[in-house]
Amino acid sequence: MQKDELIIKDILEGAKRLFSRHGLKKTTMEEIADAAGKGKSTLYYYFPSKNEIFEAVVEDEMKNLIQKVRVAINKETTAKQKMKAFLGTNLSSILEYHNLNMVVKEEIHNGLKKMLQIKQKYDQTQIDMMKEILKCGVQSGEFRELPEEMIEKCSFASIAAFRGLNSPLSVTMCDFKSEQYFDILVDTIVDGIGSQKKK
């Protein structure tokens, strides 16, 4: 890693800890500089504003998550296992970065346009990964032949359903454990698009 990359990494790691604890509004540039072990002038050299640091933190976390999901998917052999790896890795990352996720949601609601663009890019990447999994299942014969339009819609619906498991209905909040519902979700999807051949 080059010097600039190492400095940026330190800044983002320090900022992430602060944003997760205090949120964007209550975190100052001075605190970020201290947490990163850098001077304020160094901080401003790489990031002209706190919002730019926050955007970089969010983008970095999303890239890390996509990489983790890709590794988990590639370890599995069947489309069904790939779906479970996809959902499970996403869930563990959401739990790991729960506080940062809450801050991101709050900032999106507060109208940060850039945050919305980052989220849209991330959502599209998630849909594209699900499309890959579905196409892999069709190719291997695990799923029946599906037209491109159906793969597109099913990918969107799968991601939307997964997101729903992470934002459950208020009536179920008291005892809801989303990971317990992953197998049900994957089985439902696979039963719906599975190959007609009985194994």
Token code pair at residue 3: 């010097």
Q: In terms of residue numbers, what domain contains 14?
A: 1-47
Residues 9, 38: contact at Cβ < 8 Å? no
Residues 72, 42, single domain; the answer is: no
Whole-angstrom distance, CA of residue 55 vs CA of residue 147: 37
End-to-end CA distance of the chain: 50
In order along its 199 residues, the chain shows pLDDT tens digits of 688 899 999 999 999 899 888 888 889 999 999 999 999 999 999 999 998 999 899 888 888 889 999 999 999 999 999 998 998 888 887 777 766 777 777 776 676 677 778 888 888 999 999 999 999 999 999 998 989 998 998 899 888 888 776 665 444 444 556 566 677 778 888 788 877 654 4
- How many Cβ atoms are within 10 Å of 124's Cβ, its own excluded? 11
- Return the SS3 of 176: coil
Structural domain count, the chain:
2
CATH of the domain at 28: 1.10.10.60
Distance between CA atoms of 126 and 67, rounded to whole angstroms? 11
Q: Residues 116, 164: one domain?
A: yes
Contacts of residue 175, Cβ cutoff 8 Å, sequence gap at least 6: none
**Alpha carbons 23 and 116: distance in angstroms, whole number:** 17
